[in-house]
Amino acid sequence: MVISRGINPLIELQKQIEHPFGKGTLTETGVQYSTASTGLAGTATSIESATITLPTGAKVVEVEFGLTMAVLSSGTADGMKWNFQASDDNAAWQDLIAETTKAASTVYVDVTTSGRFAPTGNFTGSNPFYVRGMARSAGTTDTTSAKVKNSSYVTVLYKMW
């Protein structure tokens, strides 16, 4: 998709929309999640990660994220912590949202973060770049399980050089 934003008309902005998470068996409701991952009490676990690949020569202008994860606690003693991160090298991670705490729940609860993000720190929008969901227990008694929802998306606005 080519977009014009009143910038130099010789440089066209393009948009790429990715739905890289929660793929799997079709469901009656159309709602899918990734395979659930469970971390040790208090230890952050990568729930699901995705690689976003743009055309060669693409320069990222802006990234929009709409990311949803379902979290579950093994008990009611500890809350659950979660966040999403991005990285240029799949090793050094930049938080897209600070680690957030949710009250303990023994049934899955969806948590969502969304918005536009200007690449910074360990995420400058290189090609490719990586996105992942993280979760852990807020304490040392319970474990936290989590899974990423298929409606999660990454939209990249870029220009070609």
How many CA atoms, within 13 angstroms, populate the side-chain half-sphere of residue 65? 24
pLDDT top residue among 119 and 8: 119
Q: Is the pLDDT of residue 1 over 70?
A: no
Give the CATH fold of the 19-153 domain.
Jelly Rolls (2.60.120)
Q: What is the pLDDT of residues 41-95, one digit of tens each?
A: 878 999 999 999 999 999 898 999 999 999 999 999 999 999 999 999 999 999 9
Q: Which sequence spans correspond to the domains of the chain?
A: 19-153
Q: Measuring CA to CA, how many Å separate 119 from each of 18, 96, 106, 133? A: 17, 9, 35, 17
Q: Looking at the whole model, is its pTM more than 0.75?
A: yes
pLDDT score of 150 = 94
